[in-house]
Amino acid sequence: MFLVVGLGNPGSGYAANRHNIGFMAVDDLVRRHSFGPWRARFHGQMAEGTIDGHKVLALKPQTYMNRSGGAVGEAARFFKIEPAHILVLHDELELPPGKLRVKRGGGHAGHNGLRDIDAHIGKDYLRLRLGIGRPHDKALVHNWVLSDFARADQPWLTDFLYAVAQHFGLLLKGDESGFMNKVTLAIRPPAPKKPAPQQKEETNGL
Task: List residues with catalytic annotation.
Answer: 19
CA distances from 190 to 87, 156, 187 (A): 29, 15, 10
Type of residue found at 186: A
* DSSP-based three-state secondary structure for 4: strand
CA quadruple 99, 172, 27, 126: dihedral positive or negative?
negative
d(CA 187, CA 25): 15
From residue 78, give the alpha-carbon distance in Å to each of 111, 115, 117, 121.
Answer: 26, 21, 16, 13
Beta strands in the chain (DSSP E): 2-6, 39-41, 44-51, 54-61, 86-92, 100-104, 126-131
Give 79: exposed, middle or buried? Use CB within 10 Å, 0-12, 13-18, 19+.
middle
